Amino acid sequence: MEKDEKKTKKSILVVDDEKSIVEWLQIALEKEGYEVETAVSGEEALEIARSRYFNCVITDMKMAGMDGLELLKRLREEDPDLIVIIITAFGTFESAVEALRSGASDFITKPFRVDEITFRLKNVFEKECLRQENIFLKNRIEKDEGVIIGESKKMEELLNLVDKVAKTDATVMIYGETGTGKELIARRLHSNSNRNNEQFIALNCGALPDTLLESELFGYKKGAFTGAVQNKKGLFVVADSGSFFLDEVGEISPKIQVKLLRVLQYQEIVPLGDTKTIKVNVRLIGATNKNLEKAVKEGKFREDLFYRLNVIPVFVPPLRERKEDIPLLIEKFTDKIAKRLRISTKEFSDKSLEKLMEYNWPGNVRELENCIERIMILLDEDKITEKDISAIMHSDIPVKEEITLQDLEVNAIRETIRKCGGNKVKAARMLGIHPSTLYRKMKKLLIE
């Protein structure tokens, strides 16, 4: 219990050039259960904040050297989501507005009581918690986490193992063919863990070029490379205290393998263009459709990283080895697709189900879902027959089950441009490349 309480304790950095104030606040806030560090100047605070993650910074506005507003600006450049509370004896309306416009989460004037500042802290943390919950729920809906479907013996054994391992912080390596549902297993590990109130971050390592993957994982400092116009927080920092799922981890380059090994060994990262380490507390879950032991023997994957990742190996069976789950999966997909497309659901005859269970499904659950969607869209009948299945399964409709790295790069670029409302300069910044590089890639990959 002590370990869990320590992990979830909120960390606060208190900054004031009056040493007596920071000492008084440290004692008072630690009594309230917060983990507190102090600094007596803006410059010192910035250095401390760059070395570890804080949930909140409380800073005086008027200080010698770097004042509170400048510190606020610099901190927000490092972490746009950081909670910052400004304290000052100069409680004018203008200074309050200036602080809030600069990104402060709250504003409080001296002199103040301990219960006043703890009340303000409670409020800002509750607002942040609500914001994170909204993000979590939105992601949950978008990802359609749902319940893992399967009553076969193999799935029962798998889920029993997953639930047993979930309560620990052990690193888990999920093995399985493409389309078997490895991310669903990772999400179940997180949901049943002691970190389930924190972030779950997922990243497909094979979906990004090497340079972009590195900047996504570890972040970068402004000016680290052409196009790095502001600091970027790496996903290891975003996932702090939560779980980080790295899909297709067998695709990462030797350079990133070295950096990932350091994270697992020392629980710290170094952003690109920086020399200072940042401590992170992340439960890592890896996944691959490759034979990593073979890759180690062939010199394509580091042996020391393999053993760090492979603490608890979990194997997801292909759909052909659990065909008794197919009717349950079809029922789930039929309902889900009907709701998404706002169409009526369909009933499958026994013979049609048998026909679907005869097929080996090389694309696994993902291929089955694609097939059910084709059936739902293309067939007008309410009841699906064996003949209907034969027509759909052997139709000339092209279905691309194998996805190349080029496909993934195209999808990453298109999705980023979409998120940026068509602004290619902003998209290039998000991708960590120069706009001219983005234009060249778009031309080469025939992206309109």
Question: Could you identify the residue written with the tokens 């416009």?
Answer: 101
- Report residue 388 as tokens: 């209907």
Is the pLDDT confidence value at 288 over 90? yes
User: Tell me: the pLDDT tens digits for 169-209?
Assistant: 999 999 999 999 999 999 999 999 999 888 899 999 988 88
Question: What pLDDT, on the 0 to 100 scale, is given for residue 92?
Answer: 61
Residue 429 main-chain phi, psi, to 5 deg: -65, -45
Is the pLDDT confidence value at 5 over 60? no
User: Tell me: the pLDDT tens digits for 250-278?
Assistant: 999 999 999 999 999 999 999 999 888 88
H/E stretch holding 137 reads helix 114-143
Lowest mean pLDDT of 17-31, 208-222, 367-381, 407-421, name the range.
407-421
**Alpha-carbon gap, residue 358 to 326, rounded angstroms:** 10
Find the mean pLDDT for residues 341-370. Answer: 91
**What residue ranges define each of the domains in the chain, with the CATH number in brackets?**
2-136 (3.40.50.2300), 152-317 (3.40.50.300), 320-393 (1.10.8.60), 405-444 (1.10.10.60)
**Alpha-carbon gap, residue 259 to 273, rounded angstroms:** 14
Is the pLDDT confidence value at 4 over 50? no
Is the pLDDT confidence value at 285 over 50? yes
Is the pLDDT confidence value at 335 over 80? yes
Lowest mean pLDDT of 112-121, 165-174, 318-327, name the range.
112-121
278 Cβ contact list (under 8 Å, min separation 6): 50, 51, 52, 53, 237, 268, 269, 270, 271
Question: What pLDDT, on the 0 to 100 scale, is given for residue 350?
Answer: 94
- In this prediction the pTM is 0.62
Find the mean pLDDT for residues 432-442. Answer: 78
